Structure 1
Amino acid sequence: MKKRTFAHLDFHARDRIEALYHAGHLQQEIAEILKVDKSTISREIRKRSKKTGVYDATRVQAKALAARSNSKYQGMKIEAHPQLKAHIIAELAKLRSPDEIAGRMKKEKRTVRVGTNAIYKWLRSAWGERYCLYLCAKRKRTKKQKHLPKREMIPDRISIHDKPKTKGLVEVEGDTFLSPKKARTTESGFLGSVRGVHLLVGTKLPNLKPTTMSEGVSRSTEHLSADLLVLDNGIENKNHLDFPLDAYFCDPHSPWQKPHVEGDIGLLRR
Structure 2
Amino acid sequence: MLVAAGGVRPRRGRNLQGRYLSFAEREEIAVGVAAGESVRSIARRIGRAPSTVSRELSRNATRGRYRASVAQMSAFERASRPKPAKLATNLRLRARVEADLAKRRSPEQIAGRLRREFPDDPEMRVSTETIYQSLYVQSRGALKQELTRYLRSGRALRHPSRKVGQRKNRIPNMVNISQRPPEASDRAVPGSWEGDLIIGAGNLSAIGTLVERHSNFTMLVPLPEGYKPDQVAPALTRKIQQLPLQLRGTLTWDQGPEMRDWEQVRIDTGIEVFFCDPHSPWQRGINENTNGLLRQYFPKGTRLDGFTEGELDAVAYQLNDRPRKRLDYQTPNEIIRSVLLR
| TM-score where L is the length of structure 2 | 0.37
| TM-score where L is the length of structure 1 | 0.44
State the structure with bigger RCO (CA 8 A, min sep 6), 1 or 2: 2
